[in-house]
Structure formats: structure tokens, C-alpha cells
Amino acid sequence: MKVLLGVSGSIAAYRAADLARELMRAGHEVRVCLTDGAAQFVTPLLFETLTGQPVLSGAFEEPIAGRMAHIDWARWADVIVVAPATANTLVRLGLGFAEDMLTTVVLASSAPLVVAPAMNPSMYAADVVAFARERLAARATIVLEPQEGDVVAGEHGPGKLAPIAEIVAAVQSLDVRRNRLAGKHVLITSGPTVESIDDVRFLSNRSSGKMGAALARAALLMGARVTVVAGPQSAVLPLAATVIPVHTALEMLAAAQGATQPDVIIGAAAVADYRPLTRQEGKIRRDVGNISLQLTPNPDVIASLAATFPGAQTVAFAAEPGPDVATARAKMARKGVFAVAVNDISRSDIGFGADDNALQLLFASGGQAESGVRTKLACGIWLLEQLTP
Ligand code: CTP
């Protein structure tokens, strides 16, 4: 893999030289980016000599004239490792600052991040550092907890850089994950559908599309080709996915059935079960008195896709108001899918609009697995890993 190693200004910066060498030994290509603080402890020349590659530091450096290095390097990296990460760098990464080369590259990149903090234990315990770590978790960052031990200034506590072997192992695990879905096509339905009543009004639902977007990112991180058939959703879909925008359930079904043979199909969309039987031309006026809206059932998109692509592993989502496994199992049988991911919509910390989710995955073959509460992105990676053990 192409590993971008970001080094920030901790006393542990000298250990980044060993890390660079071990990563190269493991077969990875390594480029190094130093913060100004790191350059106080170690020199660019050290890493240039070690890696045989240019080293970046200042926000406006351009080793190749006319090419913006931060974009170039962000695209180049398969993974970004920040080790050691000081409190300052950790917080800047978590909050999305971009005022030096390292933070700018991280912000511009969609590569997975591995962060190995090293700092004074009191700084590690600070609220804002914990907040930044939570924010980083939402973008699939692996945070390697600092080791407990004696740190400078005579203190003892968690603050020492994780062992080099552990950091290298984290990179290796991402390499395995990255290849897990290589050559596979993942088809995802996402977001709400909207069903027109007249030219102005429609029936829809509260789906934000966050779970669909997270699944798309997860599948891309795992090396898959990704197609998302998406209703008008607020969550932003990754640029690397092929997105087919639709409005109605019928459009969603037609677009998904027209996709090239998928290996995995995931129904994350909140498809309207009913649509108005007729769509009124123009605008229904208020002077018509009582009106009744006649609804007709929409096709079950995910069940139809399971039938259209019998070779694919098709996963339906089941939004259940409570931990009801029997209803979800019946739903799975009715839809003829490979598995169903149950999420409990009675909980406010997970589900619609939330950043976290907790899935219970039931397989038609009888097995089941639970993700526990994680970010939607981590849930997506977890779900895809369950399908390809
Ligand atoms: N789904 C679909 N097409 C529909 C309705 C639902 O593809 N017309 C898919 C959703 O994308 C999701 C799964 O079916 O993957 C479950 O949706 P859910 O609303 O929980 O179940 P329903 O089949 O609508 O059953 P019910 O409303 O009775 O719970």
C-alpha cells in the first residue's frame, strides 16, 4: 500500500524513523509529512534518506511545480498514519483544521486514517482531546491508544506511543480490509423515495440517507465498485461511487434492476410502501372540500432485486420499533433475502438521522451477529465483513 506517514512534534517523533523503516519492510511505499513541531525534533533529510521520497512540511510546498502537493498526496495515499500524534495535531485532525500540510492532506483525503497519540497523560485526558477522538472515529479512524508508562516531566500514565509493531499491524489489517471486496460490485439503495400527489405535494419519509452513504464509503474502503440508487437524500454520497438519482419507488426498482450484476445488494432505502393511485395534474386546490387520497402498494424493491439477482448476497434493513427478532425473521423469509439487518428505531441514539447505529444481523441460514453501537460507517464495514468472512 501507499502509506503517508504524518509525524507531529512529540519527543516520540524519533520513533517515526523506525516506523517508516518497518512499514517499508512490510512491503509498503512510504512518504513522510512533518508538522513544524516535528521538524524541531527530526529533520526532513532523515526521512528523505530513509524513504527515498520527498518530505513535505509547509502548507504551500510544491515538490512538482504547478501541482498542488496536498491534493496530489491526498489522492496518492491508500492510508494515512499519524504517529506520533500530539494533542495539538489530534485536535486539529478531529475538528478538520487545515493550516499546515499534514492537516490539509488529511482533510483532502478519503483514505483511512490510523492515529497513534503520544502526549502528556493530562493532555490526553482533556475533554477536547476526547471530543476530537470521537470525531475521528466517525471517519473510520483507528486510534491506537497510548501505552501507560513513564513520560517526560516525571509523570506516569497513558501517553507513550503505541508499539511500532502494533502500528504496522493496524496498517496490515487495513490492507486486508481494502482487498476484501476487490473486484466485487456492491449495489445499494439509499435515502427516502418521494411519491407525488400533485405537481406540488408528495408523500415521503424522514430517511436522511446517512446509512446508505456510510455503506457506500465502507464498500469503497474495502475495494468494491459501488453503485448507489438514491432517493433525494441529505447525506452526501462519496464521489467514487456511481450514483443514480431517483425519486419514486418504481424509478428506484427500474434503476437498480438495470445495474450490472451485483455481488452484494443492500437495501438501505426507506422505500414508500404506498404511492397515490393517481397523480393529479397541476395543484389540488383548497376549495374542493374533503378529499381522500387513494393509495396503491409499491413493489418491494429489495425483494424484487433478490429475485432478479439470485447470485447476489441481498441484505434488507428492517426498521423495528423494539428488539423484535421474530418479525424480522418473517420479513426476511417474505422478501427471500440472504440476511436482514435489524435496527431498533425506538432508540433515539441510533437509527433515523443519528450518526450511530447498532445492527443485529440475521441470516436466512439461521445464524446471527450483533454489531453493538458504532458509527454508521463502522456499522457498514462490520456488516460487509459479516458477509465476506
Ligand atoms: N423495502 C423495499 N421496498 C419497499 C419497502 C421496503 O425495498 N417497498 C426494503 C427497505 O429498503 C428495507 C426493507 O425493505 O431494506 C425493510 O423495510 P421495512 O420498512 O422495515 O419493512 P417493510 O417491508 O416495509 O414491512 P413493514 O412496513 O410491514 O415493517
Q: How far is the CA of 318 from the centre of ligand 1 (A)?
A: 7
Q: In DSSP terms, which residues pair with 11 in a beta bridge?
A: none
Radius of gyration of the chain (CA): 24
Which residue, 140, 160, 178, sits at the end of a domain? 178
From residue 193, alpha-carbon distances to 234, 262, 298 in Å are: 12, 22, 11
Ranges of the chain with pLDDT below 50: none
Which residue, 158, 178, 198, sits at the end of a domain? 178
Domain shared by 172 and 189, yes or no: no
Residue closest by Cα to atom 24 of ligand 1: 273
Domain shared by 313 and 355, yes or no: yes
Residue closest by Cα to atom 18 of ligand 1: 318
CATH code of the domain containing 16: 3.40.50.1950
Domain shared by 239 and 339, yes or no: yes
Domain shared by 194 and 48, yes or no: no
Domain shared by 104 and 142, yes or no: yes
Taking the alpha carbons of 205, 210, 213, 214 in that order, is the dihedral positive or negative? negative
Domain shared by 71 and 198, yes or no: no
Q: Is 103 in the pocket of ligand 1 (CB under 6 A)?
A: no
Which residue, 150, 178, 206, sits at the end of a domain? 178
Q: What is the pLDDT of residue 61?
A: 83
CA 251 to mean position of chain CA atoms: 26
CA distance 166 to 163: 5
Q: Which three cell numbers stand for residue 66?
A: 504547478
Nearest by Cα to 295 from 196, 151, 189, 365:
196
On whether the CB atoms of residues 175 and 1 are closer than 8 A, the answer is: yes
Domain shared by 189 and 303, yes or no: yes
Sequence letter at residue 373: V
Domain shared by 229 and 373, yes or no: yes
Nearest by Cα to 332 from 323, 320, 343, 341:
341
CATH code of the domain containing 203: 3.40.50.10300
Phi, psi of 31 (to 5 degrees): -125, 150
Domain shared by 19 and 165, yes or no: yes
Domain shared by 209 and 283, yes or no: yes
Q: Is 298 in the pocket of ligand 1 (CB under 6 A)?
A: yes
Mutate to test the pocket of ligand 1, among 190, 301, 327 (most ligand atoms within 8 A of CB): 301
Q: Is 316 in the pocket of ligand 1 (CB under 6 A)?
A: yes
205 is catalytic: yes
Q: Which three cell numbers stand for residue 175?
A: 490492507
Q: What is the pLDDT of residue 67?
A: 82
Q: Is 253 in the pocket of ligand 1 (CB under 6 A)?
A: no
Q: What is the pLDDT of residue 389?
A: 66
Domain shared by 145 and 234, yes or no: no
Q: What is the pLDDT of residue 80?
A: 96
Q: How far is the CA of 270 from the centre of ligand 1 (A)?
A: 7
| Catalytic member of 205, 298, 343, 357 | 205
Q: What is the pLDDT of residue 351?
A: 64
Domain shared by 149 and 205, yes or no: no
Q: How far is the CA of 227 from the centre of ligand 1 (A)?
A: 20
Q: How far is the CA of 203 from the centre of ligand 1 (A)?
A: 16
Q: What is the torsion angle, in degrees rounded to the nearest 10, for the CA atoms of residue 286, residue 287, residue 290 and residue 293?
A: -50
Q: Is 230 in the pocket of ligand 1 (CB under 6 A)?
A: no
Host domain of residue 340: 185-387
Number of domains in the chain: 2
Residues in the chain: 389
